[in-house]
A and B are shown apart, each in its own frame.
Chain A
Amino acid sequence: MFELGEKVIEYLGGTDYVDVRLESYDNTSILVINENIQRCVTYHKKGAAVRLIKDGAWGFQSTTDLTNKGLEKAADSALSMAKAESTRLKERVKMAPTKICEDSVIPEVKIDFREMSLEDKINLNLEWNKAMKSDPRVRRAITQYNTIDADKYFVSSEGAKLRFKRPTPYLRLTAFARGNAAIQSYSENFGGTGGHEIFAGGDPIPVAEKLGVTAAEVADARPAPPMRDTHVVFDPNFMSLLTHEIVGHPSEGDRIVGREAAWAGTAWWKGMEGQKVGSEYFTAYDDPTVPGTYGYYLYDDEGVPARRKVLVKEGIIQERMHSRETAAMFDVEPNSGMRSNTYEYFPIIRMSNSFWGTGDWKPEEIIEDTKEGVLLTGSRSPSIDDARYQWAISAQAGWLIKDGELVERLKNCLVTATSPVFFNSIDALSNDLKHGTSSCGKGDPMQIAAVGNGGPTMRGVATIVGG
């Protein structure tokens, strides 16, 4: 595969910069609803992307035609794009220098889904699905299973030569239960880089059984009452979405320089590097190097070596996520923020594993210390201001806290706050950090990235929109 890329670079001799990504994907998806296999698909996908700079302008073409002729055609097309763009150029593309590496990254896999037969995968999914129905109140059990076996090659005209094998299993379990008055669902996601060990050590059945019971209890719970500016305690599953939306996205360098202003938006804290925006309990990172996580990689899709980025430290804004191009704009070193969904796409700045730092409280100590408030567990859906300044997220369920105790289950929990006010209100942080599993949509054409965002149990002040 490296040879194919090197041939393209040779063919484009005289171009300012070229990188070629050659990637293959083998994917299996299984959807089970109430012990019936609803859908089951595989795909085998292979292609190449040629990205180049000519006369200060970008050109990019992807192709599934990997013959010499097909690759040369893609190279010609990318070149013609850059040439057309360069005629009316207002600013030449500059890329910050990076360490040029040759490496091969093959993550550790314990329970390897690639060695399992389709029959075995189907049977496991049926078992997991059945486990959710162990509580008779569960009316619908849904199991969504997906595995991707990616094999990626990267070569550049600067001499980088990288291979990254990326096996990523994903499992989402959802139980719908009927209570006295209504139906409610509760879900749990697993995902990471590795094998089935990512799914609760390889045995998600106890989780699936508990999920059915939880869904049934939530269905019988009372709706959350409106509570303005109250203490909210978020569990690690809720933190996964919260960190993603209000810390990760506004830390993306392309948002900060206005490149996502057309639709995704900007970042309210642009130009505020070094300023204090939250309490001492607000420390956050983005780190693709955490083994086993859903956002794991050791080189990004520009060949930049991955490292931990400290986004915020004790309430003070530190660094942003960068491409080589935005790093040059900020006059900093690139920090491995560029990823593309597959070979089809031009890479964009993405989170990998954005997460909140830990504190020294235990989760139960935070509850015991709370006189009145709501514990929110799991997340459903976000609705976020385009500058990431104001946010609302629905939780899967909640508990009313009174005098340090969980006194009543709640459903229909919707929480909202303004970011800086919330960041400054954080006054307790536990040690139970968990990396979650989710997919993030960004870009045009839209790309879906696997991210392992997370955090520990945390307490702050926000408003519960009740009803």
Chain B
Amino acid sequence: MIDIHERSEKAMTLSHKHSDKAEIFTVTNELLSIRIANNRIIESKAIGDTGVGIRLIRGDGMGFSSTTNLTDEGLQRAIDDAATMAKYRKIGFKYDFPYPKKAKPADIYDKPTADLLTDLDLVTEHAHTMMDASMGTSKKIAENSGIINILKINKQILSTNGVDVSEKSTGWSAFLTSTAEEGPEQREGMVTGSTVKVRDFDPAKIGRESAEMAVQSLGGKKIDEKDYELILLPSAAQCVVTELMGCTSPATMESSVPLLQDRLGEQIGSEKLTVSINPRRSGFAMAGAYDDEGVPAQELTLFDKGVFMASPYDSWYAQREEVEGTGHGFRAMSMTSGGTVYHGKMYHSEPATRAACLEMQGGEETVDEMISSTKNGIIVGVVWYSRIMLPTRGDYMAIMRMGTMKVENGEIVGGVQKFRLVDNILDIAKNIEMVGKPESLSHWHLPYGRMAPIKISKARCMPYHEV
């Protein structure tokens, strides 16, 4: 067993000779995945990954390197690389690593969840419970696919500025996609779940609800091309809102989607749109008391009643733009747009600003109230391929894939076929009319968070022929 604290200390000692300042980020990620398809478990697989990311300041330059070789020799090679880089990569402004600040502990570790990493029988049992609950819900359920991921992260951040943070966290995430069949028609339903603690894991509920969504969408009719009222259930709402939240990051504004550039303080969405990020929220998988630079993670309101209030910052972007850091420097895969390859911390990336753990402020309305107030609308359970297609203008597209049901004069009148939402992301934000009660959600392509069902007063929808 590698003692990551001892290795971090060693890296710190070795880096003294080569730098003015050093920051050592060491992490062990352990992940167990049980994959389901064709109504059975098809694979059990696990990742064990330990590495260190070393960031050095030397004169007016900064360098970063990482390695999985935690021997003295391996660490030295990474330090040498980072020091060489610092010679050529000039910072161009006054930068320093963060200084230590104490954060209140966050409730992010659960031993029974960690123990699941080696309790294959129990995880296998959970997978079967999800499938059995789905199959038992209706005879129309023909197929189930999905996954259970169990994650444990042990991270350590040390710096010459005195930061010394050790944090262990756990999480699980799971989802099941159920397919219902009636004659030649097939409809899907999907439900996700995630938290820090396995005691909150209810595999039967996931299975039952995904099956119910699939069965309820049967009898799908094709829609006409026009504007509809849309009721997006939390998973669908999360896809749409996440696209907008991604635009708040200074790195995204600079490199790919400049939609919100220079628009701080502007009314962007409707008054119903209040969204924050809260990486330390108890119960969020991937949460933490500290970000990946050792800065206490903060709750930050990005949109308050539709007004663009703030961008999240890591220390580098904050100091470059001469604003206060917000404690949102996370290790992600991409240097510009974030994103992770698997559920864990990426030691091989420098910290980058990331809007992690989205939390939509809930409203009072229930989904039933949204339905009863709808004259001509559609309910959507799950959205697929949600993208800003034209980044300078904000043209947005997504497939309304699962749980699609037509609402007329306040009542659900039957299922509708899949269709495409084609509208502008800013117009969608402006047209948020009602917001319901938030619930915890996760999926591999979305930040963990809490999202509410939302109703959009009008959005352009295009039908397409199904197979």
Contact = CB atoms under 8 A, between A and B. Distances in A.
Interface string A412-450: 101010100000000000000000000000001111100
Nearest to B464: A390
A42 B85 contact: yes
B413 interface: no
Contacts of A83: 120
A65 to B, nearest CB: 7
B48 A65 contact: yes
Contacts of A61: 45-48
A43 B348 contact: yes
A38 B244 CA distance: 24
A322 B92 CA distance: 50
B258 interface: yes
B85 A118 contact: yes
Contact of B36 (A37, A262, A386): A262
B65 A41 contact: yes
A183 interface: yes
A237 to B, nearest CB: 17
A394 B45 contact: no
A65 B47 CA distance: 12
A140 B466 CA distance: 42
A39 B143 contact: no
B329 to A, nearest CB: 13
B147 A64 contact: no
Contacts of B40: 89-91
B18 to A, nearest CB: 15
Interface in B410-467: 418, 420, 422, 443-445, 462, 464-467
Interface stretch (A26-34, A103-111, A193-201, A203-211): A26-34
Contact of A84 (B44, B85, B399, B420): B44
Nearest to A465: B422
A41 B349 contact: yes
B250 to A, nearest CB: 12
A345 B390 CA distance: 33
Interface stretch (A357-365, A375-383, A452-460): A375-383
Given A46-B68, A268-B467, A390-B420, A382 B387 contact: yes
B389 A394 contact: yes
A184 interface: yes
B98 to A, nearest CB: 18
Nearest to B175: A262
Contact of A445 (B175, B386, B444, B465): B444
Given A41-B335, A65-B2, A390-B465, A380 B385 contact: no
B39 interface: yes
Interface in B88-107: 88-90, 92
Interface stretch (B73-81, B296-304, B353-361, B367-375): B73-81
A90 to B, nearest CB: 4
A444 B348 contact: no
A8 to B, nearest CB: 14
A384 B120 contact: no
Nearest to A61: B46
Interface in A316-336: none
Contacts, number: 260
A62 B343 CA distance: 15
Contacts of A414: 389-390, 395, 397
Contacts of B146: 262
A392 interface: yes
B379 interface: no
Contact of B341 (A91, A142, A382, A445): A445
A214 to B, nearest CB: 15
Most chain A beta-carbon neighbours within 10 Å: one of B190, B420, B467: B467
A418 B89 contact: no
A462 interface: no
A389 interface: yes
A62 B47 contact: yes
B147 A44 contact: no
Given A84-B121, A84-B124, A29 B335 contact: yes
Contacts of A63: 48-49
Contacts of B176: 262
A240 to B, nearest CB: 17
B464 A182 contact: no
B254 A33 contact: yes
Contacts of A383: 385-387, 389, 397-399, 420
A384 B385 contact: yes
A304 B143 CA distance: 31
B89 A40 contact: yes
A328 to B, nearest CB: 13
Interface string B362-392: 0000000000000000000000111111111
Contacts of B388: 381
Interface stretch (A12-20, A73-81, A155-163, A280-288): A73-81
A61 B118 CA distance: 12
A205 B426 CA distance: 37
B147 to A, nearest CB: 5
Contacts of A384: 385, 399
B31 interface: yes
A461 B393 CA distance: 25
A444 B35 contact: yes
Interface stretch (A127-135, A253-261, A401-409): A253-261
Contacts of A445: 31, 33, 47, 149, 341-343, 444
B384 A88 contact: no
Contacts of B89: 37, 40, 122
B47 A44 contact: no
A446 B397 CA distance: 22
A119 B88 contact: yes
B69 interface: yes
A446 B342 contact: yes
A435 B92 CA distance: 38
A259 B37 contact: yes
Nearest to B396: A383
Contacts of A89: 40
A230 interface: no
A288 B88 CA distance: 37
A82 interface: yes
Interface in B45-71: 45-51, 63-69
A382 B385 contact: yes
B312 to A, nearest CB: 18
12 contacts: A43-B348, A59-B44, A60-B46, A61-B47, A118-B85, A119-B88, A185-B392, A259-B38, A263-B190, A346-B43, A416-B462, A446-B340
Interface of A: 27, 29, 31, 33, 36-47, 57-65, 74, 77-78, 80-85, 87-91, 118-119, 122, 140, 142, 144, 174, 176, 182-185, 257-263, 265, 268, 341, 344-346, 380-387, 389-390, 392, 394, 412, 414, 416, 418, 444-448, 465, 467
List the 4 closest pairs (A to B, CB-CB), nearest first: A445-B342, A84-B120, A262-B145, A60-B45
Given A62-B49, A390-B464, A392-B389, 5 more contacts: A43-B348, A85-B120, A381-B391, A383-B399, A389-B466
